[in-house]
Structures are given as C-alpha cells and as structure tokens.
C-alpha cells in the first residue's frame, strides 16, 4: 500500500512530538486542530499521518497498522495514544473500558472555580446536531453519569489554571462540566467563551496519562509539554509530579 510522502519539515515536526514509542505503542503530543481519526470533514487525520510517517521512516512495505484506542476532541491538545499492533489495540481498548487508564488534563479557564478542589458529578446528554453536551436530569433517556475531580492550581493575570482528573469518558465532558461550574475554558466558544484562540483550539491539554503497558504489563506515565502559548500564563503553576 502506498502512503503520501512527508516532507522533511513534517517529519521533524512529528519526531519532535513523539512522547513514547516501542514496537506496540506510539504516543504523540497532539496539536490543537488535529483530528485523531477521519471524520466527515475529509481532513487528513493524525492516524493516517502517522501511518505515512512509519511507512517512510522504516521503509515498511504493505499496510501500516495504527489503531485508535481513544480520541481527543479536535481543539484539544496533549497525550494521544496509538496502538501499532492489533494485540495492543485490543488490550488498550479493554484498559480504557475498565478505567485502568488514568488521565489528567490542564485547563485555562476564564474564571476561577468556587472551591480549591471538588468532585463533579453530573448527568450529560448530547445534542448531535450541535455536537455539544449538556447537563440533564438522571431520568432523561440519553443521560450518562459524568464524573471528574478538579484542583485549582492558581491564577495568572487574566486566566486560571485548573487540573482535571477524568473519572469517566463522556463526550465533551470536561468542557461541559467546567462551563456549568462557571469556569469556561479559554477559547471554547461552543461552551460560552467570549472569544476564540488565534489557532482555533481551546486551552484544554491532556498533560499526563498513566497506564499499564498492554504487552510488557509495566506501568508507564507519559506527560505532554504544554503549548508554547501557555508559557507566560502557567509559569510556576504546573505540578512537578
């Protein structure tokens, strides 16, 4: 199978963003605006770009396997895991399904949360036409329980840094639950931000993921550096661990 040829700039860009790779996994620092898997837009997805990269880098003939065990929303950045084998994909899918993968996010919000830390539990529904989640009653037919734990890390001049530990994986969960708390994420027009970000993304970053390796059965912890545009706002606020 033939894949498109990546130029030197694309190759260097991808290589600088690979956070972990072995024979079973490839973990990359996804950029805001990239789509993980193909959708109705027809834009090239990250999975296909990585297939082309592996085929070109390794002079690999035939079809390259690049499984997608989870997704990040298009405007979100950070740790994004791909499986390089079907065995790894199957085991990762099970790990995500059973809650064995632990994900922490950082969010720059337009307002500080009411508490230093808290557990948020809401029932969420989904509007397919708007591609948006909303809080609903538990009795609603589409209701799904969404749980996350947040910690307020501090404030810059205009924005406020919140760490989120995701306990369930609902559609737009962090965006919806923080917005309902009054903490709209910077740039997230869909959930009430006053203005967009220059890159079209939102300031939500999957910064730390801990999982059991699907083949080696060892715990690995992967962190993704923050987008450069966050530097002045988050200086001194991001946890060391």
pLDDT digit string (tens) for 185-227?
A: 999 999 999 999 998 999 999 999 999 999 999 999 999 999 9
SS3 state at 55: helix
Are 70 and 139 in contact by the 8 Å Cβ rule? The answer is no
Which CATH topology does 8-234 take? Pseudouridine synthase (3.30.2350)
pLDDT digit string (tens) for 105-116?
A: 999 999 999 999
Instruction: Give every CB contact of residue 190 below 8 A, 6+ residues apart in sequence.
Output: 130, 131, 132, 175
Please check the confidence at residue 237 and state whether its pLDDT lies above 90.
Answer: no
The reported pLDDT for the residue numbered 6 is 96
| DSSP state, residue 67 | B
Are 94 and 83 in contact by the 8 Å Cβ rule? The answer is no
By C-alpha distance, which of 187, 188, 196, 183 is closest to 111?
Answer: 183
Please check the confidence at residue 236 and state whether its pLDDT lies above 90.
Answer: no
- Alpha-helix runs per DSSP H in the chain: 8-17, 46-57, 86-97, 173-180, 231-234
By C-alpha distance, which of 72, 26, 19, 75 is closest to 49?
Answer: 26
Are 175 and 166 in contact by the 8 Å Cβ rule? The answer is no
Please check the confidence at residue 21 and state whether its pLDDT lies above 90.
Answer: yes
Please check the confidence at residue 58 and state whether its pLDDT lies above 80.
Answer: yes
What percent of the chain is modeled with pLDDT above 70?
A: 99
The reported pLDDT for the residue numbered 219 is 97
pLDDT digit string (tens) for 114-159?
A: 999 999 999 999 998 899 999 999 999 999 999 999 999 999 888 9
Instruction: Give every CB contact of residue 79 below 8 A, 6+ residues apart in sequence.
Output: 19, 27, 29, 30, 103, 206, 207, 208, 209, 222, 223, 224
- Give the start-to-end residue ranges of the domains of the chain: 8-234
By C-alpha distance, which of 231, 220, 224 is closest to 80?
Answer: 224
Rounded distance between C-alpha atoms, residue 58 and residue 228, angstroms: 30
The reported pLDDT for the residue numbered 234 is 76
CA atoms within 13 A on the CB side of 9: 0
The reported pLDDT for the residue numbered 206 is 97
More confident residue, 151 or 2: 151
The reported pLDDT for the residue numbered 40 is 79
More confident residue, 16 or 38: 16
Instruction: Give every CB contact of residue 109 below 8 A, 6+ residues apart in sequence.
Output: 159, 160, 161, 162, 178, 183, 184, 185, 186, 203
The reported pLDDT for the residue numbered 109 is 97
Rounded distance between C-alpha atoms, residue 130 and residue 113, angstroms: 26
Please check the confidence at residue 1 and state whether its pLDDT lies above 90.
Answer: no
The reported pLDDT for the residue numbered 241 is 64
Q: What is the largest CA-CA distance in the chain?
A: 55
């Amino acid at each position: 199978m033939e894949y498109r040829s990546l130029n030197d700039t694309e190759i260097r860009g991808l290589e600088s963003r690979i956070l972990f790779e072995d024979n079973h996994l490839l973990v990359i620092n996804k950029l805001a605006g990239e789509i993980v898997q193909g959708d109705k837009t027809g834009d090239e997805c990250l999975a296909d770009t990585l297939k082309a990269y592996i085929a070109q880098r390794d002079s690999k003939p035939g079809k390259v396997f690049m499984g997608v065990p989870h997704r990040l929303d298009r405007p979100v950045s950070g740790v994004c895991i791909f499986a390089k084998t079907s065995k790894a994909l199957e085991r990762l899918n099970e790990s995500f399904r059973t809650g064995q993968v632990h994900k922490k996010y950082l969010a720059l919000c337009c307002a500080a949360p009411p508490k230093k830390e808290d557990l948020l539990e809401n029932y969420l529904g989904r509007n397919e036409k708007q591609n948006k989640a909303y809080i609903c009653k538990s009795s609603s037919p589409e209701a799904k329980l969404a749980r996350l734990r947040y910690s307020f890390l501090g404030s810059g001049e205009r924005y406020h840094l919140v760490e989120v530990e995701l306990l369930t994986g609902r559609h737009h969960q962090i965006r919806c639950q923080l917005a309902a708390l009054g903490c709209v994420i910077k740039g997230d027009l869909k959930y009430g931000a006053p203005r967009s970000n220059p890159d079209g993304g939102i300031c939500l970053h999957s910064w730390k993921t801990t999982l059991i390796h699907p083949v080696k059965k060892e715990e690995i912890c992967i962190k993704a550096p923050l987008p450069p545009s966050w530097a002045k706002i988050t200086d001194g606020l991001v946890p060391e661990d």
